[in-house]
Structure 1
């Protein structure tokens, strides 16, 4: 049985529409993946993403862990960024506050946004940030200095988890990036000695 030309064209059109539908669906999934993955990490503490929550309300444990603070500034942002202390000893279940100082060392106003990570990644589900400056765009005038607090506590359950109970320290790492429209930019300026095409 031979297909007529009209039937072949209809079949080809249906195949093309199905392929187009798959491409559109895959593109939509690609765009949805990043925010969904971000929500998953924030909800579970996966891959070193600290949890967000209210102030600690449970009992304070006698156990403690050392929390190190690592501060970085990406190239292209003329800021100096330091923690008030390189580390603190935090009792499990007790709320701690640490201040971070940011100074614009440039000659023009600039805007930055901080991202963070917690290592080892397994500790993310037990590190709860009550208040943080991360992901909030900040604009500093030339020479301006601002102090930003991070308020956090460590869930006592970290010592009951067989994957984390032997850990005694963790590192909370922040990196400030130049920001544009609320998004971190790897480099906003063209490096010296190069020209845009």
Structure 2
């Protein structure tokens, strides 16, 4: 018995199904692309992945690890072309693990016009990010500085005592908290 070649109607129906399936795959990929940024941010905040710090409320009660100190180094940068000076008041602090501490960063608009910026951050070594906890921070908040204006911006933080039991951090003597300020165009939302 001979098989008949597919009819033009069958071929058109298969092509239509393939086209609809490809549109579905494309829309799914587009949706995943939009969802990936917030999902990645949530993942990083929960795990400390890639140097992302943890967050806590001001009323958090943390047990200090008396006799265990770490050096915290502060790094500050501005995107090239942004007319700000930005630096920590003190480039390093020695802190007791578990003790709440505060660092102050200073930003100054060196231009003759208002400039709005927002800061992103990271922690190195990256495995320490899961234990570096910020209580208050200026990061991801738009800051508008008028011409010549200087502001002091606090960061309240602590290093979770659980870092002492983590074998990946057994040699950690210093943690670096680094901020980079980027300009924000008018009408654009930060982070």
Q: What TM-score range do you get, normalising by the shorter chain?
A: over 0.9
Deviations 1:8-38 (A, max 9, x none): 1111000111011111111111121111011
> What's the CA shift for 1:54?
1.9
Q: Is the 8 A contact 1:159 1:166 kept in 2?
A: no
Matches of 2:93 and 2:30, distance apart in 1:
45
Structure 2 residue 27 is matched with structure 1 residue 24: yes
Q: TM-score when scaled to structure 2?
A: 0.93
Q: Which residue of 1 aligns with 2:11?
A: 8
Q: Is the 8 A contact 2:72 2:92 kept in 1?
A: yes
Instruction: Please list every run of 5 or more consecutive structure 2 residues that lacks an aligned counterpart in the other structure.
Output: none
Structure 2 residue 157 is matched with structure 1 residue 183: no
Matches of 2:63 and 2:8, distance apart in 1:
78
Structure 2 residue 63 is matched with structure 1 residue 59: yes
Alignment RMSD: 1.1
Deviations 1:126-167 (A, max 9, x none): 000000000000111100011110000000110100000221
Matches of 2:70 and 2:182, distance apart in 1:
29
Instruction: Please list every run of 5 or more consecutive structure 1 residues that lacks an aligned counterpart in the other structure.
Output: 185-197
Matches of 1:47 and 1:124, distance apart in 2:
7
Q: Is the 8 A contact 1:113 1:182 kept in 2?
A: no
Q: TM-score when scaled to structure 1?
A: 0.90
Q: Is the 8 A contact 2:108 2:145 kept in 1?
A: yes
Task: Find runs of 4+ consecutive structure 1 residues off by over 4 angstroms.
Answer: none
Secondary structure, counterpart of 2:163 in structure 1: helix
Matches of 1:33 and 1:88, distance apart in 2:
36
Secondary structure, counterpart of 1:99 in structure 2: strand
Q: Which residue of 2 aligns with 1:135?
A: 140
Q: Which residue of 1 aligns with 2:42?
A: 39
